[in-house]
Amino acid sequence: MEVKASVHETRNLGVRCAEVTLTRHDEEFELIAVKNDFDFITARLPIAHLAASKSLYEQGFHRYETQYSLRCSLTPLDNDIDEDSSVAELNYPDALRALRQHGFSIKSDRLALLGTFRPEVLLRRFCFWLGDEVRKGAIFREVQRRGVPVGFFLGREVSGAPHVAFSGVYDDCFNPTAGRSIETHMLKWASSFSRAIDVTVSSNNLSALRLHLQFGFNIRDAKEIFLWTNLERNLAIDI
């Protein structure tokens, strides 16, 4: 079992956050000390680890999602694979502006499901998180169909491999092919310098999971995510 303070999440949420990582070997463990030191704890464990799951439930944790690690082998894609769509690179303020203007639902986010943090705090967390990725070199690529913004993906190259921190369809987009356009451009970008791409998709976002599988992704691993907090539900937490 590994326990570490989550510096970024503490900054993003304004409360003391920690991450606990459990392995198959962790069956009996005690988290009282961690719960004394932190307000919000995220625990990750292998799927179907019933002993650990039971122990977490008994210690006040609740399961919020399964995170699937997916991989897709890549081949160079034709430039004209989707003639109706295009990509525009937006800087950080313009990316925030686009997300604000078109809306981006984070309802499937486990913290939104938890209900402890106000939407404003979750939005602020997203801004920080987006900012972290941009500082590390990620580019916010907005996908447009016939000139109309439909969504985005946020990607950067890490040691020659593509890393996509986030992708999604804008809330005001009702084009049923938007997800496919975004996925196509994401794979096109990744295939320009890599032979494979790894992404993580939440079980809370079934449409995204289904889309990735349709595009040839395979499930490589899965982790259960449990949360614990000593904060009241819908507590007004200011950063």
For binding to other proteins (CB under 8 A), which residues are involved?
11, 91-93, 96-97, 100, 120, 123-124, 127-128, 130-132, 134-135, 238-239
Q: How far is the CB of 17 from other proteins (least distance, A)?
A: 15
Q: How far is the CB of 135 from other proteins (least distance, A)?
A: 5
Burial (0-12, 13-18, 19+ Cβ within 10 Å), 201: buried
CA-CA distance, 28 to 145, in Å (whole number)? Answer: 53
CA-CA distance, 191 to 200, in Å (whole number)? Answer: 18
Closer of 28 and 238 to other proteins (Cβ)? 238
Closer of 12 and 205 to other proteins (Cβ)? 12
Q: How far apart are the first and last CA of the chain?
A: 30
Closer of 102 and 212 to other proteins (Cβ)? 102
Q: How far is the CB of 35 from other proteins (least distance, A)?
A: 26
Q: How far is the CB of 167 from other proteins (least distance, A)?
A: 18
Q: Locate tokens 């996925």: which residue?
A: 183
Q: How far is the CB of 185 from other proteins (least distance, A)?
A: 22
Closer of 152 and 228 to other proteins (Cβ)? 152
Looking at this protein, which amino acid is placed at residue 76? P
Closer of 49 and 163 to other proteins (Cβ)? 163
Burial (0-12, 13-18, 19+ Cβ within 10 Å), 179: buried
Closer of 11 and 210 to other proteins (Cβ)? 11
Q: How far is the CB of 136 from other proteins (least distance, A)?
A: 9
Give exposure, 135-163, as e/b (b: 16+ Cβ within 10 Å).
eeebbbbbbbbeeebbbbbbbebeeeebb
Closer of 219 and 239 to other proteins (Cβ)? 239
Helices marked H in the chain: 7-13, 32-37, 50-58, 92-102, 110-114, 119-135, 178-191, 206-214
Residues 182, 184, 190, CA angle at the centre, nearest 5°?
100
CA-CA distance, 53 to 43, in Å (whole number)? Answer: 10
Q: How far is the CB of 4 from other proteins (least distance, A)?
A: 20
